[in-house]
Amino acid sequence: MPTIVVAAGSIDADGRVMMQRRPAGKAHAGLWEFPGGKVEVGEAPSEALVRELREELGIVVDVTSQCSIDFAATEHVILLLFACRCWQGDMIASAADELRWAVPAYLAELPMPPLDVALVQRMLDQRRLDRFTL
Ligand SMILES: Nc1nc2c([nH]c(=O)n2[C@H]2C[C@H](O)[C@@H](COP(=O)(O)OP(=O)(O)OP(=O)(O)O)O2)c(=O)[nH]1
């Protein structure tokens, strides 16, 4: 059964998206991803995202402020991407090597895991970035 992973495209007032770099020792080390992680047994995906963003970035988000925008999957992982525009607190990396605000048009230039490449490519192809920048 595939692992369900939730991830957030957090968007700031300038329409930039928060990306984090996976640390050494983890799968996809050195690649840039949307902050998030695995959904635990008994959790709703949105609840898992609230927990992961608190653990990984130290921010507090409201379940109702998240909007599911896309997904990508392999036989091992189903990655659910949410847009997140409202949070409380300053983002501090605790699971990542580095955090970076990325302008959407340049997201595709960051080295990413294959599922993220697919998500970002589709956002660009289908002009889904409107959802990020609106
Ligand atoms: N968070 C996140 N994970 C992603 C993305 N793209 C992608 O392929 N993944 C994969 C990498 C991992 O195989 C899996 C998430 O695992 P993880 O190690 O970050 O999960 P976790 O935070 O729950 O950490 P752990 O308890 O397993 O250490 O999903 C993405 O954009 N964000």
> Could you read off the pLDDT of 45-99 as tens digits, one per residue?
999 999 999 999 999 999 888 888 899 999 999 999 999 999 999 999 999 999 9
Residue scoring higher pLDDT (67 or 36): 36
Residue 46: both structure tokens together: 């949105």
Tell me: pLDDT of 109 over 80: yes
| Domain hosting residue 37, numbered range | 3-133
- Residue 67 has a pLDDT of 85
Predicted-complex ipTM score: 0.93
| pTM, to two decimals | 0.93
Confirm if 81 and 5 have CB atoms less than 8 A apart: no
CA torsion angle for 45, 50, 52, 55 (degrees, to 10)? -160
User: Ligand 1: distance of its center to the CA of 93 in Å?
Assistant: 15
Residues framing ligand 1 (Cβ under 6 A): 5, 7, 26-28, 33-34, 36-38, 77, 79, 113, 115-116
CATH number for the domain that contains residue 13? 3.90.79.10
Domain count, the chain: 1
